[in-house]
């Protein structure tokens, strides 16, 4: 009996020792997993972190690291890995100090792996809401808007980001902002390469922007914005018929006929096709808030073209021009000038037309060719190049960009004499 008791004590001690060892190991698993992850020893890191999470199933840091391992480990089936990673990240509540990072990571997975831009945007925006100082997800959210054909809505994101980065990072941001403003379709070529929409080795291939927008629509067909972005690509390519066919298909998505971006694209297409009555009907669906470039632009267009209410059109055009891309929208300025002329306000019309012409000249391809050549200096070391951008934005009357480029110039190291 004694022997049995002694035996049990020994076993108990051993079990406790084993348990202690396991707990201690698991406790160390977090640090070990992180170390192994850094060394790209993904399988080993996975083991360590699994043990740690067994003990601490709600530990945000562990969950983040394990999600990272899963997304990196290409030996695991893609779909399963992403599913598991998303499930782990979901366990981190918004209220957790790591909540913002978790939402941001979910955003990244949702877009760059699942190609669902609208869901990804929601994650990013949540991350930004939870931690306004988290610049990485501001940046990615801005890029997401470029990549999903909606860069005109990124102004707040950009300036929010700009204000939060160091002086050293700002020159490059300003360069990317120019591309986002004027060349959204090709603003992020490396993303297209990494996501498989562009092959640098193929001289002739399908348009990457088309492929990307189509993939967005196919991956997330329940989102009206994806239908609209693809339709707008056709619309701007001059293929109004296909644009309208895509929009008609998109209208079957619940909520599409009340979605501002979808409505903006639909109105543009209906307008081109002369279906002004239908455009007016859809405009009635515009949801609150009744504000922003698109809302006022289309209110103005319909007042101008469908109702011949020139006073109303001028008011709406003025409001639309206050929002980006209004300041460079010389076509709407020209429409406003025409309305003024019809109201016999010739002097005002001439002034607006003059301004429209000034902006139009700034949108000339040769002007942008020169600017892009200036920007091709990756390190933006040449004062002369930066001055070109500064002057360009001065003509456009874009004070913040002017200030931004002035800071870039101020940040440049002074040239030593003789250089």
Partner 1 sequence: MNFLSNRLRGSIVTLLFIVCVGCDRTPPVPPSGTSPSTSAGGVAESKAATEAVEQKGKTANSPSKAVPSPPHVTPIFIDRAQELGVDLTYFTNAVPGRFFLPESMCGGMAWFDYDLDGWQDLYCTNGSILIDPDPNDKTHTHHIYRNQAGRRFVDVSALAGLQHNGYGQGTAVGDFNGDGFPDLFISCYGPNKLYENNGDGTFRDVTPSLGERDPLWSTGSVWADVDSDGDLDLYVANYMHVNWKTHKTCSFGGKPGYCGPGEYQAQPDWLFLNEGDGRFRECAEEFGFVGERGNGLSVVWADFDYDRLPDLYVANDMAGNFLFTRSGIDPKKPGQTPYLDVAPRAGCDVSGQGLFEASMGIALADYDGDGKLDIYLTHYYHQKNTLYHNLGGMLFEDDSYRTRVATISHERLGFGVITFDYDRDGGPDLIIANGHVLGPEQIPWQMPPTLIRNNTHGKFEDITPFAGEFFAKPALGRGMAAGDFDNDGNLDFSISHLDQPIALLHNQTKNTRRWIGLLPLTPDRIKPVGAQIRVTCEKESRLHHVWDAGSYYSVSDDRLLFGLPEEGKVTVEIDWPDGRHDRYDDLTPENYWIVRPGQVPRRLGSEAP
Q: How far is the CB of 212 from partner 1 (least distance, A)?
A: 11
Tell me which residues in 200-229 interact with partner 1 (CB under 8 A).
204-207, 210-211, 214
* Using rule CB under 8 A, residue 242 touches partner 1: yes
Structure tokens, 152: 């005109």
Of 119-127, 258-266, 345-353, 411-419, which part binds partner 1 (CB under 8 A)? 345-353
Distance in angstroms (rounded) separating the CA atoms of residues 140 and 122 = 12
167 binds partner 1 (CB under 8 A): no
How would you class 300 by CB atoms within 10 Å of its CB: exposed for 0-12, middle for 13-18, buried for 19 or more?
A: buried
Alpha helices, H only, 39-110: 42-55, 60-72, 78-90, 99-108
Smaller CB separation from partner 1, 77 or 291? 77
Q: Is 183 in the site for partner 1 (CB under 8 A)?
A: yes
Q: Shortest Cβ distance from residue 25 to partner 1 (Å)?
A: 27
Among 123, 153, 234, 283, binds partner 1 (CB under 8 A): 234
Token output for 321: 């021009």
x/- mask, partner 1, residues 42-71, rule CB under 8 A, reads -----------------------------x
Joined together, the tokens standing for residue 341 give: 């002329």
The residues in 8-37 that bind partner 1, with binding defined as CB under 8 A, are none
In the bound state with partner 1, the residue whose beta carbon lies nearer, of 26 and 161, is 161
55 versus 249: smaller Cβ distance to partner 1: 249
* Residues belonging to the chain: 419
Burial tier of 156 (Cβ tally within 10 Å: 0-12, 13-18, 19+) = exposed
Contact between 360 and partner 1 by CB under 8 A: the answer reads: yes
Residues 227-254 as b or e (16 or more Cβ within 10 Å = b): bbbbbbbbbeeeebebbbebbeebeebe
Within 87-126, the residues that bind partner 1 by CB under 8 A are: 108-109, 112-115
In the complex with partner 1, which residue's Cβ is closer, 26 or 145? 145
Tell me the chain's radius of gyration from C-alpha atoms: 28
- C-alpha 125/C-alpha 322 separation (Å) is 24
Element (H, E) at 248: helix 240-250
Question: Which of positions 273-332 make contact with partner 1 (CB under 8 A)?
Answer: 273-276, 305-306, 325, 328-332
Question: Which among 28-36, 89-97, 343-351, 406-414 is the span making contact with partner 1, rule CB under 8 A?
Answer: 343-351
Question: Which token pair is 191?
Answer: 């993303």
Residue 284 Cβ vs partner 1, minimum distance, rounded to whole Å: 18
Q: Which of 333, 386, 402, 408 binds partner 1 (CB under 8 A)?
A: 333
Q: Judged by CB, which is closer to partner 1: 26, or 404?
A: 404
Q: Is 257 in the site for partner 1 (CB under 8 A)?
A: no
Residue written as token pair 């619940």: 254
Taking CB under 8 A as the criterion, the residue among 148, 216, 226, 356 binding partner 1 is 356
Q: What one-character DSSP code corresponds to residue 185?
A: G
Residue 77: what are its φ and ψ, rounded to 5°?
-55, 135
Q: Name which of residues 366 to 395 contact partner 1 (CB under 8 A).
A: 368-369, 372-373, 375-376
Q: Which of 123, 139, 317, 392 binds partner 1 (CB under 8 A)?
A: 139
Residue 5 Cβ, how far from partner 1 at the closest point, in Å? 55
Indicate the burial class of 72 (C-beta count within 10 angstroms; 0-12, 13-18, 19 or more): middle
């Amino acid at each position: 009996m004694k022997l049995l008791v002694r035996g049990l004590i020994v076993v108990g001690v051993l079990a406790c020792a084993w348990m202690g060892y396991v707990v201690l190991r698991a406790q160390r698993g977090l640090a070990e997993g992180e170390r192994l992850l850094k060394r790209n020893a993904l399988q080993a890191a996975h083991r360590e972190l699994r043990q740690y999470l067994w003990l601490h199933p709600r530990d945000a840091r562990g969950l983040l690291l394990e999600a990272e391992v899963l997304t990196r480990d290409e030996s695991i089936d893609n779909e399963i890995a992403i599913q598991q990673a998303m499930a782990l990240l979901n366990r981190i509540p918004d209220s957790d100090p790591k909540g913002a990072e978790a939402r941001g990571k979910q955003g990244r997975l949702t877009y760059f792996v699942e190609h669902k831009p609208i869901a990804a945007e929601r994650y990013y925006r949540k991350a930004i809401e939870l931690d306004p100082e988290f610049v990485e997800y501001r940046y990615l959210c801005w890029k997401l808007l470029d990549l999903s054909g909606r860069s005109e809505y990124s102004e707040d994101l950009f300036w929010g980001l700009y204000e939060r980065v160091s002086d050293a990072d700002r020159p490059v941001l300003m360069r990317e902002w120019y591309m986002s403003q004027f060349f959204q379709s090709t603003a992020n070529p490396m993303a297209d390469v990494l996501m498989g929409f562009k092959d640098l080795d193929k001289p002739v291939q399908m348009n990457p922007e088309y492929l990307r927008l189509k993939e967005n629509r196919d991956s997330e067909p329940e989102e009206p914005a994806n239908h609209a972005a693809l339709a707008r690509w056709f619309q701007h390519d001059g293929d109004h018929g296909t644009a309208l066919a895509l929009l008609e298909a998109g209208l079957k998505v619940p909520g599409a006929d009340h979605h501002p971006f979808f409505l903006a694209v639909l109105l543009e297409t209906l307008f081109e096709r002369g279906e002004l009555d239908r455009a007016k009907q859809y405009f009635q669906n515009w949801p609150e808030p009744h504000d922003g470039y698109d809302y006022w632009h289309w209110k103005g267009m319909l007042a101008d073209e469908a109702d011949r209410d020139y006073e109303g059109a001028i008011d709406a055009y003025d409001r639309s021009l206050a929002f980006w891309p209004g300041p460079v929208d010389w076509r709407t300025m020209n429409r406003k000038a025409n309305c003024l002329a019809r109201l016999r306000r010739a002097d005002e019309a001439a002034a607006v037309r003059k301004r429209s012409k000034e902006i139009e000249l700034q949108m000339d391809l040769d002007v942008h060719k020169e600017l892009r050549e200036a920007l091709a200096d990756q390190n933006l070391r040449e004062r002369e190049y930066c001055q070109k951008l500064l002057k360009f934005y001065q003509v456009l009357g874009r004070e913040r960009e002017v200030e931004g480029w002035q800071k870039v110039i101020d940040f440049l190291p002074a040239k030593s004499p003789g250089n």
